[in-house]
Amino acid sequence: MERRKPSGDVGCFFAVNLRLNDADSVTCSVGSCSIGSNDSYQSPPPVSASSTEDFDDHLSDAESICRLRYEEGNSLLPAKEELAAEIHRLELHAYRRTIGALHASGPLSWEQEELVTNLRLSLHISNDEHLMELRNLVSGDNSIHIR
Shared-domain flag, residues 92 and 56: no
The reply to whether 3 falls in a domain is: no
Burial 81-104 (b: 16+ CB within 10 A, else e): eeeeeeeeeebbeebbebbeebee
Total structural domains within the chain: 2
Kindly report the pTM of this predicted structure. 0.45
The reply to whether 39 falls in a domain is: yes
Condensed to tens digits (0 to 9), the pLDDT of residues 82-96 reads 999 999 999 999 999
Give the separation between CA 131 and CA 136, rounded to whole angstroms: 9
Band of pLDDT at residue 140, cut at 50, 70 and 90: confident
The reply to whether 96 falls in a domain is: yes
